[in-house]
Structure 1
Amino acid sequence: MVETKSIPESEKWKKEHIFSSEEAWKRSYEEVSTRIDDIKHYQGNITNAKELLTYLTKGEEISQKYSKLYVYAMLSHDEDTRVAESQARLSKVQQLGVKLSSATSFFTPFLLSLDEQTLSTYIKQEEGLQYFEEDLFDTYRYKEHVLSAEQEALLSEMGEALQAPRNTYGMINNADITFGYITNDQGEKERLTRGKYALLSKSSDREKRKEAYKAYYEPYIGLHNTIGSTLSAAVKNNVKLTKLRNYPSALEKALFGDKVPKEVYETLIQAAHKGKEALHAYTKERKKILNVNELRPYDLGVPLVEGVKYDISYDEAYEMMLKALSPLGEDYVSQLKEMKAAGVIDVHETPGKRSGAYNIGVYGVHPYVLLNHRNDLDSLFTLTHEMGHAMHSYYSNKHQPHITAGYSIFVAEVASTVNEVLLMHHLIDHEKDDKKRRYLLHHFIDQFKGTFFTQVMFAEFEKIVHEKAEKEEPLNASAFNEVYEELFGSYHGESLELGDEVKYGWSRIPHFYRPFYVYKYATGYASAIHIADRLLKGDEETKNNYLEFLKSGSSDYPLSLLKRTGVDLEEGEPIRNALNVFSGLVKEFSKE
């Protein structure tokens, strides 16, 4: 962990690119708050095309200003989650978001009260409405899922309360959680941190891995009833909203916005089950190489090729990434070079900083990327992954108007994972040392396992627990334990002895508070393998189509955008191809 004061300014966010000062943020906050009050007056007062255009124009302006307020507050909070002032600012802007949602909640019911012919007439009368035309007509897809204006307003007012389980878990997992003790190299006891756990989980010393594993799970086991309560509330809230909005299931509600058939989700899970044999073979090979009587979960992270260690500084990682991504063209690489010192990336793990990594785009400014770089191979891949998101944000914001600049999470994971796959091929293809090449091959397998199989396992967990809630079956920590343990064992095979901690694994997964999100990692990975393979063959048409895809934002539905790159997830071939790749990797690794 690095002290904040020792970090170069080029490796920190420049939040002043959003607001020059906290005072400027406060002034904008007051402006948005006032304008939200003003926009309320449009309820019941949109009677012609001109008034419709005025409302929509003002609404978009407020939305864009609010986004900047929110991102600034979120970045400030995530730099150090312990700071009360930052917590208060984020809470304040979240409350403003509820107020904005409430003030505009009347519009969808109003729009759906108009017949489509009337809307067409309005658009012909006011030229400016053509900018909003596609979104307006798309709203009619939701007609049977939209409530009355009064009910929508009430739900909007409940927004903050409905987000309470997610927010509570976030505070537990980031600010309050305290891991158990481990023994350092001097024989002294010290607290485990996430960064230390990431390193110790790869240690060749099995006792150290075991000690770190138990210290990591200690708080989650101790808090499993509390966390179980938050997750149960989140799932039940989602199921209740599903019923209120007249969707057949929580899964179909989640897929509706992207226009993804539930069969894509179900086919993904079915394909993963059919491909589990290769994963079981890999687990068996791991047990054999480690030469242990019982393979345990704390053995799953240790590299199987000894004597290889990567110490990759942030600067070195950035250069390696740039070389690996050269198949994407000169413009892509040059933009990445500019981002390095442009205040886009907060690089290092510091006290109180939010864990993990993410990208968030700010329209009219630039993307912001959070990292916790630890000078290892995983950090190189995380950097490459998040900069894929950042470049997607950059291209979409540059080439799309505000209304279609924001892309779906579904396609976002393609943009990030293409980068990862290109990096992996680059590293393997340029490695002359046999041991290091074998190490990279093993890393590719583990990356595949984590990005595909683990995410599908999570997706199946979500599906099962939501179905339990829909059937009004008990949903608590005990139920979560049972489902998670069964799935973990099923995916990893009989060569793994689960132990007592595994069943609590659900309690450490923040993505479960964003229902039916993680499956997109798996579909993105399968799509990325397909696209990267053609890029590496120098297919100029694929490169051009892919860059256009990155520039497309949400100008079409995700599956349609992907089809333009040659990926058809409804047919399922990219998923089957990806599983064949994994099987081939395992066979190659087992032979060497």
Structure 2
Amino acid sequence: MTTYKTRQEVPEQEKWNLNDLYSDVGLWEKDYRHIEEMAEKLKTFDGQIHNGHSLYQYLKQSEELSYVFNKLYAYPMLKVDEDTRETTSQSLLDKAKQLSVKVSSSTSFFMPFLLSLEEETLKSYINEEKGLDYFAEDLMESFRYKLHVLSKDQEKILSQLGEALSVPSHTFGMINNADIKFGKVTGDNGEPIELTRGMYTKLIEDENREKRKEAYFAYYKPYLQLKNSIAATLSGAIKNNVTMAKVRHYPSALEKGLFGDRVPKEVYENLISTTKKNITPLHRYTKIRKEKLKLDELHQYDMSVPLISGVKPVISYEEAYETMLKALSPLGKDYIQMLREFRDARYIDVRETPGKRSGAYNLGIYGVHPFILLNHQDDLDSLFTLVHECGHGVHSMLSSKYQPQISAKYSIFVAEVASTVNEVLLINYLLKNEQDSNVRKHLLNHFIDQYKGTFFTQVMFAEFEKKTHEMAEAGIPLNVDIFNQTYETLFREYNGDTIVFDEQVKYGWSRIPHFYRPFYVYKYATGYASAIHLATRIFEGDEKTIQSYLEFLKSGCSDYPLELLKKTGVDLTTSEPIENALKRFEELVDEFSKIL
């Protein structure tokens, strides 16, 4: 594998080109001053919007500001991610953050003002000013929240409580990221070494069972020691959600969480009930895992180790890119041409170097192009990561190209569809073309485990959130015992009785940061199911699906997520996409059991 000691050693072609944002810091500073002036101008609209013309002027200038500000903020953020140790980039990012506060403060009057208007007054403004046609849909969308917005004085009090209400989430973040120490595990040379999260994800997949077991118990130890503190933070976060839902007149915390995407609670409930009706193949896979590993007892620390040993294909970045272009060719020439442009015009930062931010992401910037961060490791996971992030990248590119700024930013609900469609097309392509039976088995195993993590585990988490919020709404006290009991019951229902339950299993809830962002995780599962549904048809060459899917990628947030997906043939208000995804999982388990 290619390793680089410094960023300078990396070939130019494998580094993103930030000159596309600013060719020098002087131009960045110029935009900084421009935004400061624009923010001051926006402040002067406070109390001065009395007709359609002044409303239009405010909105037009506000949109211009956000266009420039997005570029300005992205530049130092991307610079910092190239090398987090670099102080010049950090100070630019700090300046951008301070400017963000100024901008927010200069526009904070607007939403309370807008929602204080009568609907008829707003409609009369829109009718009298032609320019407001562009903003009309967004203005009326804001009115959906009118029922849930309180008086000006009450809103002021709530905004002052904002920091206090975020304490549970912030406290958990500090415990989880700063305070928790996992202790020591045995290194390769027999020396004790400090366990880290990154190391844990590798060790829990190690073929040496003793290493997996040692890492598992070390990883959970601090969570068990801090169980009461973490239970208090989670309980606080849930109670805050429930209280805010009541204060803002939502029927339940769940419905408040789904309101923004206009998703009926039946979609959430249907996801859970349909999955549980079709859970048998997952139980069967757990049994296959136990048999294949030849274990008397299957424990949770045996659930991540690959079942096919000795298969670790080396895939260079060049090879990975060419494989991606072939695998995604069913999406058409224009799609593939865009991916070539990503590489040739240097939208991607490829290599891991000292100080570089870990992980991978896509950042779409309206009016410029996407920037993709990778830490390519020349392995199968890195190939999947490349394909995944490029899915987001093309989605950003097409939404920017075909939508005006106001409707170009797609919602999280649909974001994972674009990336997962690519992953499914890739796995289908690899399975179709792979001759080596061992590698084929490895690919199937990879796909099934990915399915389990992205779909089944997220549905289980979604049900845990629903149950614990309902308990809080019913006045049932939330504590360690309640969380343990709820989590353990669900874990058994989803994973079956093949697994032997160590004490640690029921504490799974204590380490999930997503629980502090309520009713979010279900989107991974609906996105995955939608992607399976679409990718299967695209792979088969269904022209109608291909065209409607490409239109979907161009749509940004021009409609609500469920409506955008319906246009591709995926209707999440029915159980069909979920049933199809579960049927596909069953087929994979069947195939895997036959070739083992």
Q: How does 1:64-75 map to 2 (within 5 A)?
A: 64-72=67-75, 74-75=77-78
Range 473-482 or range 107-116, more displaced: 473-482
Counterpart residue number, 1:297: 300
CA contact (8 A) 1:98 1:159 kept: no
- Does the C-alpha gap of structure 1 residues 25 and 228 become closer, same or farther in structure 2, counting only changes over 3 Å? farther
Counterpart residue number, 2:254: 251
Q: How does 1:138-537 map to 2 (within 5 A)?
A: 138-156=141-159, 159=162, 162-163=165-166, 165-166=168-169, 169=172, 173=176, 178-221=181-224, 224=227, 227-340=230-343, 342-349=345-352, 354-475=357-478, 479-537=482-540
1:39-95: CA deviations, max 9, x gaps? 233222111111010111122122333333444454455556677887777676556
1:504-546: CA deviations, max 9, x gaps? 4334433333322221111111111111121112122211111
- Does the C-alpha gap of structure 1 residues 389 and 224 become closer, same or farther in structure 2, counting only changes over 3 Å? farther
Normalising by structure 2, we get a TM-score of 0.90
Following the alignment from structure 1 to structure 2, what is the Cα–Cα distance between the partners of residues 474 and 32? Answer: 49
Deviation at 1:455, TM superposition (A): 1.1
Counterpart residue number, 1:112: 115
1:413-464: CA deviations, max 9, x gaps? 1111111110110010001122222222222211211111011112122223
Normalising by structure 1, we get a TM-score of 0.90
Q: Secondary structure at the match of 1:365?
A: coil
Range 295-304 or range 502-511, more displaced: 502-511
Q: Secondary structure at the match of 1:190?
A: strand
Q: Secondary structure at the match of 1:582?
A: helix
Range 219-228 or range 489-498, more displaced: 219-228
RMSD over equivalenced CA pairs, Å: 3.0
**Of residues 32, 45, 67 in structure 1, which corresponds to 2:35?**
32
1:545-581: CA deviations, max 9, x gaps? 1111100001111111111111111112011111111
1:151-198: CA deviations, max 9, x gaps? 445545555555555556556655665543333333333334444433
- Does the C-alpha gap of structure 1 residues 205 and 330 become closer, same or farther in structure 2, counting only changes over 3 Å? same
Following the alignment from structure 1 to structure 2, what is the Cα–Cα distance between the partners of residues 168 and 84? Answer: 27
Q: Does residue 126 of structure 2 align to residue 128 of structure 1?
A: no
Q: Secondary structure at the match of 2:362?
A: strand
Counterpart residue number, 1:560: 563
Q: Which letter maps to 1:110?
A: F
Following the alignment from structure 2 to structure 1, what is the Cα–Cα distance between the partners of residues 381 and 28? Answer: 36
Range 48-57 or range 138-147, more displaced: 138-147
Following the alignment from structure 1 to structure 2, what is the Cα–Cα distance between the partners of residues 535 and 66? Answer: 38
1:103-130: CA deviations, max 9, x gaps? 4343334333434443333223222111
Q: Which letter maps to 1:365?
A: V
CA contact (8 A) 1:98 1:160 kept: no
- Does the C-alpha gap of structure 1 residues 576 and 303 become closer, same or farther in structure 2, counting only changes over 3 Å? same
- Does the C-alpha gap of structure 1 residues 154 and 99 become closer, same or farther in structure 2, counting only changes over 3 Å? farther
Deviation at 1:12, TM superposition (A): 4.2
Deviation at 1:495, TM superposition (A): 0.6
Deviation at 1:351, TM superposition (A): 5.6
Following the alignment from structure 1 to structure 2, what is the Cα–Cα distance between the partners of residues 343 and 513? Answer: 36
Following the alignment from structure 2 to structure 1, what is the Cα–Cα distance between the partners of residues 537 and 17? Answer: 37
Following the alignment from structure 1 to structure 2, what is the Cα–Cα distance between the partners of residues 263 and 494? Answer: 29
CA contact (8 A) 1:11 1:341 kept: no
Range 405-414 or range 495-504, more displaced: 495-504
Range 310-319 or range 274-283, more displaced: 310-319
- Does the C-alpha gap of structure 1 residues 200 and 469 become closer, same or farther in structure 2, counting only changes over 3 Å? same
Following the alignment from structure 1 to structure 2, what is the Cα–Cα distance between the partners of residues 235 and 92? Answer: 34
- Does the C-alpha gap of structure 1 residues 83 and 505 become closer, same or farther in structure 2, counting only changes over 3 Å? farther
Q: Which runs of 5+ in 2 are unaligned?
A: none
**Of residues 578, 583, 594 in structure 2, which corresponds to 1:591?**
594
- Does the C-alpha gap of structure 1 residues 76 and 235 become closer, same or farther in structure 2, counting only changes over 3 Å? farther
Q: Which letter maps to 1:363?
A: Y
Deviation at 1:293, TM superposition (A): 1.4
Following the alignment from structure 1 to structure 2, what is the Cα–Cα distance between the partners of residues 239 and 89? Answer: 39
Following the alignment from structure 1 to structure 2, what is the Cα–Cα distance between the partners of residues 303 and 356? Answer: 21
1:395-430: CA deviations, max 9, x gaps? 101111110001111111111111111011001000
Following the alignment from structure 1 to structure 2, what is the Cα–Cα distance between the partners of residues 366 and 401? Answer: 14
Following the alignment from structure 2 to structure 1, what is the Cα–Cα distance between the partners of residues 534 and 466? Answer: 28
Q: Which runs of 5+ in 1 are unaligned?
A: none
Following the alignment from structure 1 to structure 2, what is the Cα–Cα distance between the partners of residues 92 and 222? Answer: 40
Q: Which letter maps to 2:294?
A: N
Following the alignment from structure 1 to structure 2, what is the Cα–Cα distance between the partners of residues 521 and 151? Answer: 35
Counterpart residue number, 1:549: 552
Q: Secondary structure at the match of 1:373?
A: coil
1:115-148: CA deviations, max 9, x gaps? 4443333223222111101111222222201223
Deviation at 1:225, TM superposition (A): 5.0
Q: Secondary structure at the match of 1:57?
A: helix
Following the alignment from structure 2 to structure 1, what is the Cα–Cα distance between the partners of residues 454 and 328? Answer: 20
CA contact (8 A) 1:408 1:554 kept: yes
